[in-house]
């Protein structure tokens, strides 16, 4: 998703990482930071400059810290945790990573394990644990099957206080499908604690809002997965987050086929039933994990998982470009162009 009013200056923001007062509205401040491989934009509305400066400093420090502790392949607490999990013996974990592990253990079973943060070894095998995109060919089919058969899940991790142990040597944690959500939840709460009532934290289109933008709600655009620009817009209410998973974020093509970064843990291959999934939910960690899980689920299975996760707003574009939604989501979205196939599910 891309907040509409940012579409044009997105490139510019990359080179203006300093505190900037926007000329559009009074007392509006923006800050951008490259974190989690994404440009994170924070917009504060109706605040004074001192508060904005203070808030941006705090957020920058926090995001950098979270980026460090959760990084899936660079040395740090999560990478160290993975080394120790692989040994199979009990160890004292760096407590900084406990909250994200706990949250993953709650959300993965809720998603029918389609959000599965224990498949780090599969992601390694596909070459996605690198700053550069893999070039192909895809990995050896037997190596993929071998990892899938070991069936690593968060349930294989035993936790007693800060003591951890994995009963399955195939477990390797990658919290990338939920980390942005959890981080945004925490940072938006921090802004609220600072007395800020109107704000957006937007990590490359995944976002959460506080309050309103003056006399109207924050309005964001949902990206078209196959064309540049916006598919639909939605007004986001106070405390809501909007998260999208798509096959266009990180992918490579090999012999005309697209291989992207969201894997179906049941097959070990990139999930091929969806182009993108958008979830609106008050809890950004839920929205993030759910968007990934429903992307894997695809048009036939998304509804059951959405029910299980207690979601109320889902949009799924399937591999054929057909649009699937629940009726409440359909009521909220404003499509920029008419669409031939819109399939409404039962209410969620």
Name the residue nearer to ligand ADP (CB basis): 43 or 108: 108
Name the residue nearer to ligand ADP (CB basis): 211 or 246: 246
Q: Name, in order, each residue with C-beta under 8 angstroms of 279's C-beta and a sequence gap of 6 or more.
A: 242, 243, 244, 286, 287, 290, 291, 294, 311, 313, 314, 315
DSSP class of residue 168 equals -
User: Which residue do the tokens 């097959």 mark?
Assistant: 267
Q: Does position 112 bind ligand ADP by CB under 6 A?
A: no
Name the residue nearer to Mg ion (CB basis): 29 or 115: 115
Q: How far is the CB of 212 from ligand ADP (least distance, A)?
A: 25
Residue 13, SS3 per DSSP: helix
**Residues between 127 and 166 with contacts to ligand ADP, criterion CB under 6 A:** 128
Q: How far apart are CA 104 and CA 117, in angstroms?
A: 7
Q: How far is the CB of 202 from Mg ion (least distance, A)?
A: 15
Chain residues binding Mg ion by CB under 5 A are 177, 245, 288, 291-292
Q: Among 3, 112, 176, 225, indicate the residue that binds ligand ADP (CB under 6 A).
A: 176
Q: For the chain, count helices (H), then strands (E).
A: 9, 18
Q: How far apart are CA 190 and CA 180, in angstroms?
A: 15
Name the residue nearer to Mg ion (CB basis): 56 or 313: 313
Q: How far is the CB of 238 from ligand ADP (least distance, A)?
A: 23
Task: Give the x-and-dash track for 183-212 against ligand ADP (CB under 6 A).
Answer: -----------------------x------
Residue 154 token pair: 């968060």
Q: Does position 288 bind ligand ADP by CB under 6 A?
A: yes
Q: How far apart are CA 245 and CA 115, in angstroms?
A: 12
Task: Give me the half-sphere count of Cα atoms (radius 13 Å) on the Cβ side of residue 147.
Answer: 23
Q: Among 262, 285, 297, 317, indicate the residue that binds ligand ADP (CB under 6 A).
A: 262
Q: How far apart are CA 65 and CA 222, in angstroms?
A: 29
Q: Does position 245 bind ligand ADP by CB under 6 A?
A: yes
Residue 60, SS3 per DSSP: helix
Binding site for ligand ADP (CB under 6 A): 114-117, 119, 123, 128, 174, 176-177, 206, 245, 249-250, 261-263, 265, 288, 291-292, 296
């Amino acid at each position: 998703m891309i907040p509409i009013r940012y579409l044009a200056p997105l490139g510019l923001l990359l080179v203006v990482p300093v505190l900037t007062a926007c000329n559009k509205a009074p007392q509006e401040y923006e800050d951008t930071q490259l974190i989690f491989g994404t440009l994170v934009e924070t917009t504060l509305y109706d605040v004074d400059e001192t508060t904005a400066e203070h808030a941006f400093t705090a957020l920058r420090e926090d995001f950098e810290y979270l980026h460090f502790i959760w990084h899936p392949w660079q040395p740090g607490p999560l990478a160290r945790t993975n080394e120790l999990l692989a040994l199979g013996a009990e160890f004292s974990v760096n407590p900084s990573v406990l909250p994200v592990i706990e949250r993953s253990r709650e959300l993965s079973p809720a998603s029918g394990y389609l959000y599965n943060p224990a498949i780090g070894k599969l992601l390694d095998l596909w070459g996605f644990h690198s700053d550069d995109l893999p070039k192909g060919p895809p990995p050896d089919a037997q190596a993929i099957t071998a990892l899938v058969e070991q069936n690593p899940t968060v349930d294989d991790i035993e936790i007693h206080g800060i003591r951890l142990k994995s009963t399955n040597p195939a477990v390797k944690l990658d919290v990338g499908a939920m980390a942005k959500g959890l981080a945004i939840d925490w940072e938006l709460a921090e802004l609220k604690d600072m007395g800020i009532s109107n704000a957006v934290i937007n990590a490359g289109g995944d976002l959460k809002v506080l309050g309103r933008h003056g006399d109207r709600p924050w309005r964001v655009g949902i990206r078209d997965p196959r064309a540049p620009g916006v598919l639909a817009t939605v007004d986001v209410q106070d405390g809501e987050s909007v998260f999208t998973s798509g096959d266009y974020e990180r992918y490579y093509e090999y012999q005309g086929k697209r291989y992207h970064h969201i894997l179906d843990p049941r097959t070990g291959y990139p999930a091929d039933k969806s182009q993108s999934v958008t979830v609106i939910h008050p809890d950004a960690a839920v929205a993030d994990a759910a968007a990934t899980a429903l992307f894997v689920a695809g048009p036939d299975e998304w509804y059951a998982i959405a029910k299980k996760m207690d979601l109320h707003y889902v949009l799924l574009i399937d591999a054929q470009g057909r649009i699937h939604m629940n009726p409440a989501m359909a009521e909220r979205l404003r499509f920029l162009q008419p669409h031939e196939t819109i399939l409404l599910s039962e209410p969620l």
